[in-house]
Amino acid sequence: MERKVLIAGAGPAGLTAGIYGRRAKLETIIVEQSFPGGTITLADKIENYPGFPRGVSGQELAALMEQQYRNLGGQILNGEISQVVPGKQQHTLILSDGQKLIGPALIIATGTTRKKLGVPGEENLAGRGVSYCAVCDGAFFKNRTVAVVGGGDAALMEALHLAHLAARCFLIHRRDSFRAAASLQEEVFKNPKITPVLSAVVESITGSTRVESIVVRSLATGKTEPIAVDGVFVSVGQQPRSEFLNEVVRLSPSGHILTDETMATSCPGIFACGDVRKKHLYQIVSACSDGAIAAYFAERYLTQSGK
């Protein structure tokens, strides 16, 4: 399959790149391994995206963005990109089922995935009490006891979401204060179902067939103690989804794609936008802005190179 602009990932960055590409009358195709919308589909309520004075659910915003792209004639193909082969005239995307897509301009908008804790028990109890998404899995823990690990915005949002469902929620963070926005911290501290456990790390997750407890070590006293829980929600940061690029473009030590202000990468004709690129603000509004810039400069690249 051949298109002028190939877009990897249908999150806010990829969908916005698609919208701008279609408005410039470019043939675009987005390859998405899961559902269109990306990470915002995990957010219960978004209150900082302009145009929604009463807030909007992540799923609703995702559906609106997808609809806008499709209304402009944009295409989305379901598939996982496993390799990018750069070329002088055309770049190739190779999908895990063997399909190939070629095009002279490529926009990478594959966002991030959740980081793992890396403690014993996490891997073998994943899906059996260990989760990376409270919005997806919270309902399984109605009236149960859960723990959220992390101290940023996402972790506190997850704890607040779980507090609606679970009987009790421990919120474990390695620092002595949370990094999250002050408004979220205020909500957490006044929620009687949430018990913050600060200056503490999870050493292991235990259970025979499902999660039964976590072993927590206090960084203040060095003492370890088990806490009985039915579920553990890991929210300790994001990992950029750039592994399939295999050094095709320059990456930061953390694996984020390095771009200039036009979203151009180190490889001509390959652009990157959204959370997968190295930048300062990882939010929906900046992902959309990146997507618009990437599509604008992809179009200029195509015109100037006569492709």
Ligand X SMILES: Cc1cc2nc3c(=O)[nH]c(=O)nc-3n(C[C@H](O)[C@H](O)[C@H](O)COP(=O)(O)OP(=O)(O)OC[C@H]3O[C@@H](n4cnc5c(N)ncnc54)[C@H](O)[C@@H]3O)c2cc1C
Cite the active site residues. 133, 136-137
Closer residue to ligand X in complex, CB, 213/245:
245
Single residue of 6, 26, 39, 295 touching ligand X by CB under 6 A: 39
Does residue number 43 form part of the binding site for ligand X (CB under 6 A)? yes
Q: Within 13 Å and on the Cβ side, how many CA atoms surround 208?
A: 0
Distances (CA, A) of 97 to 82, 84, 108, 247, 291: 9, 14, 19, 22, 27
Residue for token digits 């320059």?
250
Single residue of 7, 56, 81, 245 touching ligand X by CB under 6 A: 81
Report DSSP state, residue 258.
P
Rounded to a whole number of angstroms, the minimum distance from the CB of residue 185 to ligand X is: 15
CA 46 to CA 57: how far, in whole Å?
Answer: 6
- Six-digit token string for 251: 């990456």
Rounded to a whole number of angstroms, the minimum distance from the CB of residue 247 to ligand X is: 16
Does residue number 136 form part of the binding site for ligand X (CB under 6 A)? no
Site string for ligand X, 171-210 (x = CB under 6 A): ----------------------------------------
Rounded to a whole number of angstroms, the minimum distance from the CB of residue 17 to ligand X is: 9
As to burial, measured by CB atoms within 10 angstroms (0-12 exposed, 13-18 middle, 19+ buried), residue 278 is: middle
Rounded to a whole number of angstroms, the minimum distance from the CB of residue 61 to ligand X is: 9
Reduced to 3 states (helix: H, G, I; strand: E, B; else coil), residue 17 is helix
Does residue number 152 form part of the binding site for ligand X (CB under 6 A)? no
CA 145 to CA 135: how far, in whole Å?
Answer: 16
The radius of gyration of the chain from alpha carbons, rounded to an integer in Å, stands at: 21
Binding-site size, ligand X (CB under 6 A): 36
The interface with ligand X within residues 92-111 (CB under 6 A) comprises 109-111
Question: Residue 303 belongs to what H/E stretch?
Answer: helix 284-305
Single residue of 6, 26, 42, 172 touching ligand X by CB under 6 A: 42
Does residue number 132 form part of the binding site for ligand X (CB under 6 A)? no
- Six-digit token string for 267: 């490889």
Closer residue to ligand X in complex, CB, 80/186:
80
Query: Nearest to residue 172, comparing CAs of 129, 135, 226?
Result: 226
DSSP string for residues in 110-133: --EEEPP---TTTTTTBTTTEES-
Rounded to a whole number of angstroms, the minimum distance from the CB of residue 303 to ligand X is: 25
Does residue number 154 form part of the binding site for ligand X (CB under 6 A)? yes
Does residue number 66 form part of the binding site for ligand X (CB under 6 A)? no
List, in sequence order, every residue forming a beta bridge with 30; answer none if it has no partner: 7, 76
Closer residue to ligand X in complex, CB, 81/207:
81
Does residue number 130 form part of the binding site for ligand X (CB under 6 A)? no
Rounded to a whole number of angstroms, the minimum distance from the CB of residue 157 to ligand X is: 5
Single residue of 24, 33, 239, 255 touching ligand X by CB under 6 A: 33
